[in-house]
Amino acid sequence: MSAYKLTLDQARAALAKLMEKYTVIAPVMNDNRLDYAEVTDARDVILDDRLPYKSPKETVFPRVENVIRFLEGRVEEAQDIKPILLIGAKPCDIAALNDLDGIFTSDKGKFKDSFYINRRNCLTVVGAGCTSKKTACFCDERGIDMTFSPECDGFLNFVDGDILYEPLTAKGDGLFTGSEAEPPKRDTKPEETLKIEAKEADVFATMPWESYVEGCIGCGTCTYLCPTCHCFNLRDAEDKGIVTRTRVWDSCMYPKFTLHASGHNPRTEKYQRFRQRVLHKYLYIPENYGFTACSGCGRCIRSCPGGLNIRDTVSDIMERLEEAKE
């Protein structure tokens, strides 16, 4: 497909039109911080090099989702959702969405998650690239090209102050139009260098996990900001005779995450929980699904009050594995 060139003002006008049909989610300033949020005015949308503070996973995997409601004599399942248009998703976030797709919808997963699929089908993703690497970003080490991602429905390129829109799928076709132009040339994808290729037994008990977590205060910030973390809890709540079953985020960094009904808790220590977080992304998901569930956005590193660093941890593990081989 070819690309369309349009000015920033034209793009905003087109966006205002799209807002009639879609719920538009895009980076906007929120309390002095850039966040993916619902757009109420097309002029608020900020498309620049900055990475929004939180990930856009809430669009497909909300913090609280009503799964089912038990009313008198009938049940009510999840409602219809208005089409959602996610604009300005960075390549790391698109890669993370892809990872979530792999977990919630793929044939490799044992279960297909109908609530996720329902939202995902309603979602159109328009990406936008980064021009520079920010502190704590490590998408290149994770094999992600920060300037472009082909795994979305359309892509916004910035050329000399103008926008070059490149539709990539039928869903993304016709969202923005302008004078036709050639799509820009692409660099080759960087190589995925940060990954753990080992058996669980090689890393589970032999790595100095306790030394990695000295600063951990045990909050759930890393998991809540992570674009690929997807653990959830199902809860039934009753209000005035109506029972609502909701799906809410949970976090493996909480001590009670693994508490059994018997009272036994296999992960009582911080290092055990951090080990689970790292290995889930870098060892268990690769084993079960064939890809590493970390997009290198660096959000967990930047926001951690204790200074925990998943990239340093993984590269330290890689070094130790390398040493052990020799």
Partner 1 sequence: MSERAEVTNAVSEEWTPTIVTFLCNWCSYAGADLAGTSRIQYPPSIRVIRVPCSGRINPQYIIKALVDGADGVMVSGCHPGDCHYLEGNYYARRRFSALKRLLSLAGFHPDRVQFTWVSASEGARFADVVETVTEKIRVLGPSRLGGRDGA
Partner 2 sequence: MMDYNKQSQKLKETAAKLLEEGTVEAVLGLKDNPEVGWPTPYFARTAGDVENLVWNEACFTNLANYLLDMRDKKVAIAAKGCDVRSIINLIVENQLKRENIVIIGIECSGMKQNDSLAAGCDACPSSIPNMYDIVVGADGSDTYKDLEMPNSGENVTEWAKNTTVDERFERFKKEIDKCILCYACRQACQGCYCKACFMDRKATPWEQVDPDTSTKMAFHLTRAMHLAGRCTDCGACEKVCPSGVNLKYLFKGLSEFVEEFYDFKAGVDMEAKPFANQYKQDDQQVAFLGGDTIVGV
Q: Binder to partner 2 among 139, 225, 317, 318 (CB under 8 A)?
A: 225
Q: What is the DSSP string of 150-193?
A: SSSSEEEEEETTEEEEEE-STTTTTSS--EEEPPPP-PPPPPB-
The candidate with the shortest Cα–Cα distance to 215, out of 313, 293, 319, is: 313
Distance (Å, rounded) from C-alpha 240 to C-alpha 256?
29
Q: Which is nearer to partner 2, 198 or 278 (CB)?
A: 278
Among 149, 157, 228, 246, binds partner 2 (CB under 8 A): 246
Q: Fill in the DSSP letter of residue 283.
A: I
Q: Exactly one of 135, 179, 188, 262 binds partner 2 (CB under 8 A); which one?
A: 135
Binding mask 15-34 for partner 2 (x = CB under 8 A): ----------------xxx-
Half-sphere exposure of residue 239: CA atoms within 13 angstroms, side-chain side? 6
Q: Examine residue 133 and tell whether it contacts partner 2 (CB under 8 A).
A: no
Closest distance of CB 246 from partner 1, Å: 8
Stretch of 61-69, 95-103, 215-223, 276-284 contacting partner 1, by CB under 8 A: 61-69
Residues 6+ apart with CB under 8 A from 297: 51, 55, 90, 92, 93, 96, 137, 139, 227
Query: Out of 220, 272, 286, 320, which residue is the one contacting partner 2 (CB under 8 A)?
Result: 220
Is there binding between residue 64 and partner 2 (CB under 8 A)?
A: yes
Query: Are the C-beta atoms of residues 175 and 154 closer than 8 Å to each other?
Result: yes
The full length of the chain comes to 326
Total of chain residues touching partner 1, rule CB under 8 A: 8
CB of 217 to partner 2, least distance (A): 4
Closest contact distance (angstroms) between CB of 198 and partner 2 is 25
Task: Select the binding partner of residue 28 from partner 2, partner 1, none (C-beta < 5 to 8 A, by kind).
Answer: none
Crossing angle of helices 91-105 and 114-121, in 10° steps, is 140
CB 118 within 8 A of CB 130: no
Distance CA 154, CA 88 (A): 10
According to DSSP, residue 51 is labeled P
**Footprint of partner 1 on residues 62-81 (CB under 8 A)?**
64, 66, 69
The DSSP secondary-structure symbol of 142 reads B
Contacted entry of partner 2, partner 1, none for residue 326, CB cut-off 5 to 8 Å set by kind: none
The site for partner 2, by CB under 8 A, has a size of 37
Q: How far is the CB of 31 from partner 2 (least distance, A)?
A: 5
Site residues, partner 1 (CB under 8 A): 64, 66, 69, 237, 239-240, 242, 244
Site residues, partner 2 (CB under 8 A): 31-33, 53-54, 63-64, 135-136, 214-215, 217-221, 224-225, 233, 235, 237, 246, 248-249, 251, 254-256, 298, 301-307, 309
